[in-house]
Amino acid sequence: MTTSTSVTASPTFLDRVRTYSPPRRYLPVAATVALLIGMFGAGSLRYQGFADPQVVLNLFVDNAFLLVLGVGMTFVILTGGIDLSVGSVVALSTMIAASTLQAGWPAPVTIIAVLVSGTLLGTLMGLVIHYFEVQPFIASLAVMFLARGLCYLISVESIPIREGTFTAFAQGSVPLPGGYHVTPSVVVAVVVFAIGAWVLHMTRFGRTVYAVGGSESSAHLMGLRVAFVKVGVYTISGLCSALAGLLFAAYTLSGYSLHAVGMELDAIAAVVIGGTLLTGGRGLLLGTMFGVLLLGTIQTFISFDGTLSSWWTKISIGTLLLIFVVIQRLLTRRQN
């Protein structure tokens, strides 16, 4: 009597690669990365020197403050909220920094004053939104006008920054292997990004952020600290806005009431293009970084061309934003 046994061959590595389907939540980020690589590929074929590694590093150099701003905005949008005040808080931070330094304040005291001011504005906004049930759009719009008005109250003229610590920071360079370099602002932005990613993806606070964005009522029923998180994300956004203002002040070495006009829209665009749902509950901080790099790549593309108007940057960003919002809507409809 003979017995036959059937042996099923285990799938090979190539088979697993062919059949692999990434989780749906990674698809928007993958689309952003693919678009970023495609734009760099097109730029390197058309313009000499576009693919130089220093060009990539310069994206971080020129957009370090926007990356910090995007970190705070990601926390807010993940809860289903919005913060329109970040651009005005950036301008107010530059004005506070420039005016206090001009008055002879030590740089550390100025930095603390700026960070505390931004944090207080963010906390105030969060308290109004949660406890008075004011729509985030309205509350952040009010803080936007408040911060911009305070800028003009300090001065209507541009205030130069000549203090030694700020100028040394602005002119500093961090060498990298291969003869490349970045600025200290990039180091600060990367540290903020790393801390934000850890808080968002590795802590109970971060998990509650996703839960509140997914369904606030369900988060309440699960006994999560909804009030603490809703106020906390706006506090984080205010802190990030103030820090971004300090980086922007070092970038321009000035404080001016008209600084960062429209920067809140750039931050929102970077977060949405990076794959974070405007309705909240889904998104990755890594996507925000790629969104910031994509916006910077568009500006670099236009700069290398030399014949296109700078308004093409806004046109391109608006088109991309509309496309990604439509894609998000289609994905959420399919899931429902």
Domain of 178: which CATH number? 1.10.3470
pLDDT the model gives residue 216: 92
Which segment of 11-15, 24-28, 51-55, 237-241 scores lowest on mean pLDDT?
A: 11-15
CB 74 within 8 A of CB 197: no
Q: Determine the Cα–Cα distance for residues 271 and 207; give it in Å rounded to an integer.
A: 18
- Token pair for residue 113? 């004053």
Domain assignment present for residue 136? The answer is yes
Instruction: Give the chain's end-to-end CA distance (angstroms, integer).
Output: 57
Domain assignment present for residue 6? The answer is no
Domain assignment present for residue 280? The answer is yes
Domain assignment present for residue 2? The answer is no
CB 192 within 8 A of CB 73: no
Q: Specify the number of domains making up the chain.
A: 1
Domain assignment present for residue 127? The answer is yes
Domain extent, residue 78, equals 25-335
Q: What is the pLDDT of residues 2-43, one digit of tens each?
A: 444 444 455 564 555 454 445 666 777 888 898 889 888 888
pLDDT the model gives residue 271: 95
Domain assignment present for residue 19? The answer is no
Q: What is the pLDDT of residues 112-155, one digit of tens each?
A: 999 999 999 999 999 999 999 999 999 999 999 999 999 999 99
Nearest to 189 by CA among 54, 288, 303, 301: 288
Domain assignment present for residue 84? The answer is yes
Domain assignment present for residue 15? The answer is no
Q: Determine the Cα–Cα distance for residues 152 and 174; give it in Å rounded to an integer.
A: 35
